[in-house]
Amino acid sequence: MPHPGGVSDDEFRAALSRLAAGVVLITAHDPDDGPRGEDVGMTATAFMSVSLEPPLVMVSVRNDSRMDDLLERQPLWAISVLSQGQRHIAGRFAMKNRISDRLLFEDIPTEQGEQAGAPLIGGALAHLECRTEQRVVAGDHTLVIGRVLAADVGGDDKGPLTYFRGKYRHLG
Is residue 46 assigned to a domain? yes
Position 156 in a domain: yes
Q: Which range marks the domain in which residue 121 is found?
A: 22-170
**Position 2 pLDDT exceeds 80:** no
The reply to whether 17 falls in a domain is no
- Domain-embedded: residue 90: yes
Position 4 in a domain? no
Write the CATH number for 98: 2.30.110.10
Angle at 147 between CA 155 and CA 67, to 5 degrees: 85
pLDDT for 170 beyond 90: no
What 3-state DSSP class applies to 85?
helix
pLDDT mean over 20-39: 87
Q: Is 4 helix (H, G, I), strand (E, B) or coil?
A: coil
Express each pLDDT in 79-107 by its tens digit.
999 999 999 999 989 875 555 666 788 88
Backbone angles phi, psi at 89, to 5 degrees: -70, -45
* 6 located within any domain: no
Other C-beta atoms lying within 10 Å of the C-beta of residue 48: 12
The answer to whether residue 5 scores a pLDDT higher than 80 is no
pTM of the complete model: 0.90
The answer to the question of residue 2 being in a domain is: no
Number of domains in the chain: 1
Is residue 61 pLDDT above 70, yes or no? yes
Is 82 part of any domain?
yes
